[in-house]
Amino acid sequence: MSQKRASWASSIGVILAVAGSAVGLGNFLRFPGQLAQNGGGAFLIPYFITLLIIGLPISWLEWTIGRYAGAHGHGTAPGAFNILFRKPWAKYLGSVSLLAIMFIAFYYVYLESVMLGYVFYSFTGLLPEMAANGQSGEFFAKYLSFEFKLFGVPAAILFFLITIVANIGIIARGVSGGIEKISKILMPILLFLGVILLVRVLTLPGMDQGMAFMWNPDFSALTQPKTWLAAAGQIFFTLSIGMGAIINYASYIKRDQDITLSALSANATNEFAEVILGGMIIIPAAAAILGTAALTDVANGGTFGLGFITMPAILAQLPLAPIFSVLWFFLLFFAGITSSLSMYQPLLSFCSDELKWSKRQSLSMLSIMSLVMGIYVALDSSLNTLDEIDFWGGNLFLLLFGTIETLLFATHIDSKKGWLELHKGSHIKIPTFYRFILKYVTPTVLIVILVSWIITEGPARFMMTYYPPEVRPSVFLTRMILVAIAIGFNLLIAYAWKTHNHDDKLNIVLEDSIHD
């Protein structure tokens, strides 16, 4: 091993960092809508089944891949796949995870900055005031179209810059000094803010109708494939799997440290934030304040509608509206920043582990990339650019990478050796039937989900008929930019391997191989 890798200072630290990566906007904004639209309480049946047969196995798989790769000097999927699967093409398949994470970061950090802007305008009172007059949609539109200015600069751009600086500043301090420390501070605050808001919502008269709207089961939804796809999609989106973030975080764990219980604990924290906090705040609050007639529209409003338009309108009706508005958007901002750190860190790790760039070079490159692509996303206030990038990075590539890694693990890894690797230093023993699930069930189910998803979502997206005709040229331009980035990134991988002879490590680690 050429140089000593950084490592986490404590097991709680890594659990909170991974949980922070998983707890994001999806928990608070996406989950309640998915639950209400897909059979209410009955949605939890496919949700928990996919958690058990997809979510947990892939989590354990990614923690195992990450810790193993980290022990051999790699922190991202291209390096990890090269060393695990020992095939020249494997590193290129690994690029899917980094492309997913990069594409998501292009828009996610911008959305995170919008939360920060909302915190500011909640504090000044402008947002609660406009929302109380039924103008939360107008506020959102004005914010996105740069009409609000601070010191002569569009507020959206100013808060975006602050958010980038905050993210880069934290990861510059390293894994234990930056991400771990901030996760230990922000995660408890986030959960505490969530509990305060939960108590406030549960004490609102009429909130029980929202609970009924969300949780009363409609079992007929279970016969519809879209319910199962929605459940699998939610599990993917919520657990941070399929994007290589866990692989990277786990690469900083020492080889003899537990990963089985840590993975379970991180997922448990995420589920607390999602089902208990996310599932109980928005829709019961909407029922109590907007009335039951609005619930269907609220549930179908989508992530942005719920987060940026409906929720400010709801909060504006509460006594002490600015305070609750600040709390809510701080909660979302904290959830966002702990997630975006897990997007930047793998990219930083790729630059340092594979390209051997200095930290300064890597951070500069990340900052420039975030700034340019973030502003490109921000310039389209209709959010079609964001939507297009989200389709590729936040949906297709996540599912694709999840399928690739489970398939490769099933076909190229000795399952007994893989199982032993997972249990090195383990605090718990995972039931043995999970070996069967990981080898056969998870890849099969993922293939079915991926194919079904492509059949149902693909044609309209691939052919761009999903978009109005007038925006298709700009969507096409975005797509070409993404293709260019994907090609360029794979060329960088080829360059890194050629220049730094990463394949030499394959000989060194042969005796430690878990290859079949």
| Minimum distance from residue 225 beta carbon to another protein (Å) | 4
Among 25, 295, 313, 422, binds another protein (CB under 8 A): 295
Under the binding rule (CB under 8 A), the answer on residue 476 touching another protein is no
From candidates 62, 112, 180, 271, binder to another protein by CB under 8 A: 271
Min CB(241)–another protein separation in Å: 18
CA nearest 292: which of 212, 379, 394, 172? Answer: 212
Question: Which residue type, as a one-letter code, is found at position 426?
Answer: S
Residue 300 binds another protein (CB under 8 A): no
Nearest to 230 by CA among 33, 489, 27, 441: 33
Q: Which of 223, 114, 98, 213 is nearest to 160 (CA)?
A: 114
Interface pick for another protein out of 7, 37, 41, 357 (rule CB under 8 A): 41
Kindly state whether residue 436 participates in binding another protein, applying the rule CB under 8 A.
no
What is the identity of the amino acid at 234?
Q
428 forms part of the interface with another protein (CB under 8 A): yes
Does residue 388 bind another protein (CB under 8 A)? no
Distance CA 398, CA 420 (A): 27
Nearest residue to 417 via CA among 287, 513, 301: 513
Asked if residue 298 binds another protein (CB under 8 A), the reply is: no
Give the Cα separation of 85 and 72 in Å (integer): 14
47 membership: H or E segment, kind and range: helix 44-50
Residue 13: CB minimum distance to another protein, A: 11
Q: CB 227 → another protein: shortest distance, Å? A: 8
Residue 291 CB, nearest distance to another protein (Å)? 11
* Residue linked to tokens 């771990």: 180
Residues 18, 44, 281, 389: which binds another protein (CB under 8 A)? 44
The candidate with the shortest Cα–Cα distance to 200, out of 291, 29, 328, is: 328
* Exposure b/e, 225-253, CB count within 10 A at least 16 = b: eebbbbbbbbbbbbbbbbbbbbbbbbbbb
Residue 23 lies near another protein (rule: CB under 8 A)? no
Q: Whose CA is closest to 156, among 112, 203, 204?
A: 112
> Residues binding another protein: what is the number (CB under 8 A)?
50
Residue 17 touches another protein, criterion: CB under 8 A:
no
Q: What is the largest CA-CA distance in the chain?
A: 69
Looking at residue 40, its amino acid is G
Given candidates 45, 132, 365, 371, which one binds another protein under the rule CB under 8 A?
Answer: 45
CA dist., res. 311 & res. 208, Å (int): 18
Nearer to another protein, 13 or 137 (CB): 13
- Is 40 an interacting residue with respect to another protein (CB under 8 A)? yes
Judged by CB under 8 A, which of 33, 66, 73, 279 binds another protein? 279
**Interface with another protein in residues 163-202 (CB under 8 A):** none
Of 54 and 326, which CB lies nearer to another protein in the complex structure?
Answer: 54
Sign of CA dihedral 87, 92, 96, 101: positive
Least Å from the CB of residue 74 to another protein: 27
Residue 354 token pair: 């594979």
- The answer to whether 423 contacts another protein (rule: CB under 8 A) is no
Q: How far apart are CA 24 and CA 274, in angstroms?
A: 9
Taking the least distance from each CB to another protein, the nearer of 175 and 441 is 441
Instruction: Establish if 324 lies at the interface with another protein (CB under 8 A).
Output: no
d(CA 343, CA 167): 10
Query: Which DSSP string corresponds to 310-327?
Result: IHHHHHHTSTTHHHHHHH
Cβ distance 162 to 114 under 8 Å? no
Q: Kindly tell me which of 82 and 442 has the beta carbon lying closer to another protein.
A: 442
Please tell me whether residue 15 binds another protein under the rule CB under 8 A: yes
Looking at 64, 76, 183, 269, which residue binds another protein (CB under 8 A)? 269
Residue at token pair 């990463």: 502
CA dihedral 97, 399, 444, 85 (to 10 degrees): -10
Whether 45 and 222 have beta carbons less than 8 Å apart is answered as: yes
Among 123, 272, 466, 489, binds another protein (CB under 8 A): 272
The answer to whether residue 215 forms part of the interface with another protein (CB under 8 A) is yes
Task: Give yes or no for residue 353 binding another protein (CB under 8 A).
Answer: no
Site for another protein contains 12 (CB under 8 A): yes
Contacting range for another protein; rule: CB under 8 A; set: 65-73, 150-158, 211-219, 399-407? 211-219
Closer CB to another protein, 162 or 407, in the complex? 407
Among 124, 169, 177, 220, binds another protein (CB under 8 A): 220
Q: Which residues bind another protein (CB under 8 A)?
A: 10-12, 15, 40-42, 44-45, 48-49, 208-213, 215-220, 222-225, 228-229, 258, 261-262, 264-265, 268-269, 271-272, 275-276, 279, 287, 292, 295, 427-428, 445, 448, 451-452
